[in-house]
Amino acid sequence: MNDFDDLVGTDVPGAERERLRGVHELLVQAGPPAELPAGLQSAPSPRELRPRRVRRRALLLAAAVTVLTVGVTFSVGYAVGSRSTATSPLHEQLALKGTSAAPQARATLDVSQEVGGNWPMTLYVRGLPRAAAPTYYVVWLVRQGQLVAPCGSFVVSKPSNPLTLQLNAPYSLEQGDTWIVTRQQYGRHAARTTVLRPVFTHTAV
């Protein structure tokens, strides 16, 4: 009796026996299955699987913490930046140039931080024509192209001497406010001539 007869026996009907013989011959031709690698011959234990699961959870947790930290840092930085911009002291420097009435004149107007409703200003000016009584110069606050109020007046005794003048704007300043300098006479406030105007449009207050 051969291997097939040992496996199947002698009591299997003819047709079924032939079908089983064909399957047996195919298995013999295919040969034995390849051996499993040593690492796969036995299933990993729950204890062996646990470290991988723990490492994966740790990586996911670290990624989440990183994203959260970046988000919090951005939010805090944005809030601090917005607050510092909104409450930062005003310090604007405005360059002025002479008009045809004073072509050699140049000036710089520094507007400092508000102090009790006042905006201290420093005017550095040179090249203005001499102005003494009854003429004088006035620094005007300009809003939307209109003269709003004076911020100080001065005279010039020697055109060649630069002047540093401390002025003040005791008003509520607004976005877009600017300044000019005019020449006028005592008792004739409506008659004025612009001698200094901004080099470019003033945009920050």
Q: Which of 5-19, 84-98, 117-131, 180-194 has the highest mean pLDDT?
A: 117-131
Q: Position of tokens 């009584």?
A: 133
- Domain 92-198 bears CATH identifier 3.40.50: no
pLDDT in tens, 38-66: 655 555 555 554 555 555 666 666 655 55
pLDDT in tens, 95-150: 999 999 999 999 999 999 889 989 999 999 999 999 988 899 999 999 999 999 99
pTM over 0.85: no
Closest by CA to 170, choosing from 102, 116, 96, is 116
Cis peptide before 89 (omega within 30 of 0): no
Domain residue spans in the chain?
Answer: 1-33, 42-87, 92-198
